Structure 1
């Protein structure tokens, strides 16, 4: 706890909401770059307004008073040309509330979700934008401005004039609502980030990534040009088409590159003298760590997509494995082909076994595997990863239970992706870009999965994998896929059509049962084929029965003669 205390005690002040929002609109209130991103949804904004008109307390603000230059600032959806001032108010605590109020009450800000809030004069409640135009629904910026409110009832609201007293009552409650605030005058930014850290570790906790970002945000100057964890996630998604990796996983990957325990204490990450373990990259700056972490993450994702058969984040069995892979590719950016083969085995054996091999903990999984990666020794690292899962037994997920948010279904989906699903309209395989366009930043592949029989099945059969079909495209009319698969199009030859059916784990017999209306027989036949394909896929990927020896050129033999004499052991 090295940060100094406050030079002076915070002073207390109460703002009328009208004055506070006017200050925000004029650029007098600003959000420091160490703050987390805005993350409220529309219902959060509605609840805030509901609390205000009911007179409920909405919490106090903590504002940092400091001299600030003229600059263009972003507050939610608003761009504000803020003048220079000796007493700008920087939000240390209360960003979500101030951003929501300043935008929802502004004519321009109210046009963007989640700030587009209306007041329903009939039901006396705040609501999202109505689906039909009706004067009973007043935009919140109109309520907040008395002149606009009078114009409303003289114009669009003429037909609901009886509700004017209600509108005036709400307008008054909004403008005169009291918002308490503490004002802190302090030049040392480290003290403010320390306060931010402590406040956000009481009650609803910030994520590790949000805390880390605030602690190591750097100076205000140049903040918009520096990498952040969120920006890294966005850049990786755009570059790889893998989807948006969550911030905590990005942070864990950055930490794993720099040390064997990705769950270590983060507050001393760049203080080599205070770390318990020796730094693998001594003296490395935060910006370098971010840039190199991003590079390693991209390599790890390329391995998953090109070697391990995992095309998208939503099909990744466990995100802990992405962290481990990032550490490996950070230290071995161009591994041998044999190392890649063994690394693929590691991924799929862990995916099938789950964290049970590591005492049932995902945290322990990432720690145990990251500790097996030894910088500068590719052979020992690969062998260590393989050795760590010796107790993992061959197996496969249960195809009788398919839920897209569970690891088992993600593994099954990878086996289906491996079959290269084809369009039943053109006979051509869908490509990875189509899957990326469809799933974007989704955390599950639900958008690419359809139920074959949405209704009319017993619960047990509803959960079968055989009752799901993987359609990785947003272009074909997917709701007609099942009907299209039931008959061979005139434009496709027999061989191509067989490849189409094969790509969906369907056989001629299964299609015959489907056309005959025999759901039970269709599902039974397809479930058998799904199980067979899944078992074959995992056997090929995990290679349970193969020798797990490292690449020949990584073995330490005494001389070439001995190498020649032993080479047949690894054929």
Structure 2
């Protein structure tokens, strides 16, 4: 039991300039029991918006103690930190300190969460554009007065905005951040403080508890759940998988019961049950778990038609696939096809068919995967979701991007290879990933065909008024109907008509529908397009689920009786009949 603090915390204040400078110099460290960085780009933008508006951003709790020399990771920054007799370890305030230190440092701009700029004309923080306009200044530049002067010397056309930039530089650098400092040698006391501060009002997630329990020694370089998510997103543009899903995938790989006690996960002697990988330590499990997830994501993107994490109908299906690809890294083509069939059938029936819903589904399905028996595993997975009749199609009269039905529908649209209405170019996974950075749903990639105010109430939730367009380079918001009517293409003549027709086709819009829109017949347009969308969805799911096909395993898995010694083998002619 902890004995409490020997002395009261001391109160102090750091301005952002000093706080960030200390972080860059390695004077600020993050204890290994801290939860991982959870903030996304919008959270960082809100933090800086609070700074310039003078809003309070909360106080920090800093632990004063010695620190060994080491290379530390702070967000996207790698810092060579020196040995210090007194350093500041962040017990509370990690998200804020990390965000400030990264968003104001040029080296961290490679991480989209921290690649921010300030639009001096619109007076707002924005994601840093690929091509910088003269009135949009990167945050690391805005933070440094000398660099601000250089910026305006190179961009004299926006000289009238110079005073505004100087004012912002001063506000950000001098913003006061209150902090409490604790001098305490007992790590358990600090763990107790951390636990209490982070459990009042909001409980730690299972992934955060697991990470704290298995953090490894201070100063280690062990792979984390968040880093696994970052690696997969960077390499495959799949989006950030949440830490809980990654944890469940790691647990599923090692044993089918993902709800087991996690405090003894890597203690084979005390843990009940047998691990599929006995003797494996934490680092080996994380590395192998990342590889299994990577294979599962590649399968989803290349064969199952799910391009991005936000379009995944149910997260638990990724956990099950991770267990499959952990035990069977290279399934044969027939097994992969059957896996695709299983995935889409499972997505359609949903978790409700299992006792306990999602919890019961992931437990039941992971238990169907038997190490060393790929064919039996796939067959059992298919049997688990088998129904006498195909389930009903997703409801297109109630289209919502945060529901499984909406995500299934979007996958059917992605299969059409949608084109950018402004260029005619095919949109790819990278476009989708860029549009959906830090987004929990695919809503930002879905545009209205017609402004909702022009649509009758009974049709406002229809899928027919939506299109999957993750890239739109124009100023008219989310509505793309007018672009289909009047394409802003640079090509001319027959090439213009050809490109325009390809754009229409990729978004399931016919010339007859275009005429309905042009004549203001919105209701008839939506009714016509809704019918086409329904047929496309039915065709997509029929192709993916293959309801009319036998779930036949690969020939290599079939047991054939040995022929008698005197029975001649069939020749090609015998097998196929006379020519």
**Do both share a fold (TM > 0.5)?**
yes
Q: Which residue of 1 aligns with 2:6?
A: 11
1:492 Cα deviation from its structure 2 partner: 3.2
Say if 2:531 is the partner of 1:533.
no
Q: Which residue of 2 aligns with 1:206?
A: 204
The structure-2 alpha-carbon separation of the partners of 1:467 and 1:60, relative to structure 1 and needing over 3 Å to count, comes to: closer
1:484 Cα deviation from its structure 2 partner: 3.9
Cα deviations by residue, 1:203-255 (Å, 9 ceiling, x for unpaired) = 421222222222212122343xx321111111101111111111111111111
Q: Which residue of 2 aligns with 1:84?
A: 83
2: CA distance between counterparts of 1:536 and 1:107?
Answer: 50
Q: Which residue of 2 aligns with 1:148?
A: none
2: CA distance between counterparts of 1:422 and 1:101?
Answer: 38
2: CA distance between counterparts of 1:433 and 1:128?
Answer: 26
1:432 Cα deviation from its structure 2 partner: 3.0
The structure-2 alpha-carbon separation of the partners of 1:553 and 1:195, relative to structure 1 and needing over 3 Å to count, comes to: farther
Q: Which residue of 2 aligns with 1:266?
A: 262
1:322 Cα deviation from its structure 2 partner: 0.8
Q: Which residue of 2 aligns with 1:312?
A: 308
The structure-2 alpha-carbon separation of the partners of 1:16 and 1:42, relative to structure 1 and needing over 3 Å to count, comes to: farther
Give the conservation status (yes or no) of the 8 Å contact 2:99–2:114.
no
1: CA distance between counterparts of 2:303 and 2:105?
Answer: 51
The structure-2 alpha-carbon separation of the partners of 1:548 and 1:36, relative to structure 1 and needing over 3 Å to count, comes to: same
Q: Which residue of 1 aligns with 2:157?
A: none
Range that drifts further, 43-52 or 430-439: 43-52
Q: Which residue of 2 aligns with 1:553?
A: 556
The structure-2 alpha-carbon separation of the partners of 1:313 and 1:19, relative to structure 1 and needing over 3 Å to count, comes to: closer
1: CA distance between counterparts of 2:27 and 2:269?
Answer: 40
Say if 2:419 is the partner of 1:419.
no
Q: Which residue of 2 aligns with 1:358?
A: 354
1: CA distance between counterparts of 2:319 and 2:20?
Answer: 40
Q: Which residue of 2 aligns with 1:447?
A: 444
Alignment of 1:362-511 (within 5 A): 362-391=358-387, 393-424=390-421, 427-454=424-451, 455-474=453-472, 481-486=480-485, 490-492=493-495, 498-511=501-514
2: CA distance between counterparts of 1:550 and 1:180?
Answer: 64
The structure-2 alpha-carbon separation of the partners of 1:328 and 1:537, relative to structure 1 and needing over 3 Å to count, comes to: same
2: CA distance between counterparts of 1:232 and 1:397?
Answer: 32
Give the conservation status (yes or no) of the 8 Å contact 1:320–1:362.
yes
1: CA distance between counterparts of 2:225 and 2:283?
Answer: 11
Give the conservation status (yes or no) of the 8 Å contact 1:197–1:211.
no
TM-score between the two structures when normalised by the length of structure 1: 0.75
The structure-2 alpha-carbon separation of the partners of 1:310 and 1:102, relative to structure 1 and needing over 3 Å to count, comes to: closer
Q: Which residue of 1 aligns with 2:154?
A: none
The structure-2 alpha-carbon separation of the partners of 1:194 and 1:557, relative to structure 1 and needing over 3 Å to count, comes to: farther
1:317 Cα deviation from its structure 2 partner: 0.7
2: CA distance between counterparts of 1:411 and 1:30?
Answer: 44
Partner of 1:340, secondary structure, is helix
TM-score between the two structures when normalised by the length of structure 2: 0.74
Give the conservation status (yes or no) of the 8 Å contact 2:422–2:472.
no
2: CA distance between counterparts of 1:206 and 1:81?
Answer: 31
The structure-2 alpha-carbon separation of the partners of 1:341 and 1:194, relative to structure 1 and needing over 3 Å to count, comes to: farther
Give the conservation status (yes or no) of the 8 Å contact 1:28–1:82.
yes
Match of 1:332 among 328, 331, 335: 328
Cα deviations by residue, 1:462-494 (Å, 9 ceiling, x for unpaired) = 111111122243558886843343368733387
2: CA distance between counterparts of 1:449 and 1:20?
Answer: 41
The structure-2 alpha-carbon separation of the partners of 1:264 and 1:238, relative to structure 1 and needing over 3 Å to count, comes to: same
Give the conservation status (yes or no) of the 8 Å contact 2:450–2:480.
no
Give the conservation status (yes or no) of the 8 Å contact 2:395–2:405.
yes
Q: Which residue of 1 aligns with 2:153?
A: none
Q: Which residue of 2 aligns with 1:257?
A: 253
2: CA distance between counterparts of 1:407 and 1:90?
Answer: 42
Give the conservation status (yes or no) of the 8 Å contact 2:5–2:189.
no
Give the conservation status (yes or no) of the 8 Å contact 1:394–1:544.
no
The structure-2 alpha-carbon separation of the partners of 1:542 and 1:129, relative to structure 1 and needing over 3 Å to count, comes to: closer
Give the conservation status (yes or no) of the 8 Å contact 1:373–1:385.
yes
Give the conservation status (yes or no) of the 8 Å contact 2:419–2:506.
yes
The structure-2 alpha-carbon separation of the partners of 1:343 and 1:447, relative to structure 1 and needing over 3 Å to count, comes to: same
The structure-2 alpha-carbon separation of the partners of 1:478 and 1:291, relative to structure 1 and needing over 3 Å to count, comes to: farther
Q: Which residue of 1 aligns with 2:215?
A: 217
Unaligned residue ranges in structure 1 (runs of 5+): 53-57, 118-126, 133-138, 142-155, 161-166, 566-571
Q: Which residue of 1 aligns with 2:244?
A: 248
1:174 Cα deviation from its structure 2 partner: 6.7
Q: Which residue of 2 aligns with 1:149?
A: none
1:82 Cα deviation from its structure 2 partner: 6.1
Aligned residues: 505
Match of 1:277 among 264, 273, 286: 273
1:69 Cα deviation from its structure 2 partner: 2.6
Cα deviations by residue, 1:65-85 (Å, 9 ceiling, x for unpaired) = 643234576778999886534
Give the conservation status (yes or no) of the 8 Å contact 1:425–1:484.
yes
Give the conservation status (yes or no) of the 8 Å contact 2:12–2:181.
no
Partner of 2:66, secondary structure, is strand
The structure-2 alpha-carbon separation of the partners of 1:209 and 1:107, relative to structure 1 and needing over 3 Å to count, comes to: closer
Cα deviations by residue, 1:548-568 (Å, 9 ceiling, x for unpaired) = 232221133443689x99xxx
Partner of 1:297, secondary structure, is helix
Partner of 2:396, secondary structure, is coil
Cα deviations by residue, 1:1-57 (Å, 9 ceiling, x for unpaired) = xxxx66x753122313148998996666532233124446566785998669xxxxx
2: CA distance between counterparts of 1:295 and 1:426?
Answer: 37
Unaligned residue ranges in structure 2 (runs of 5+): 127-134, 136-141, 145-162, 571-579
1:294 Cα deviation from its structure 2 partner: 0.9
The structure-2 alpha-carbon separation of the partners of 1:363 and 1:191, relative to structure 1 and needing over 3 Å to count, comes to: farther
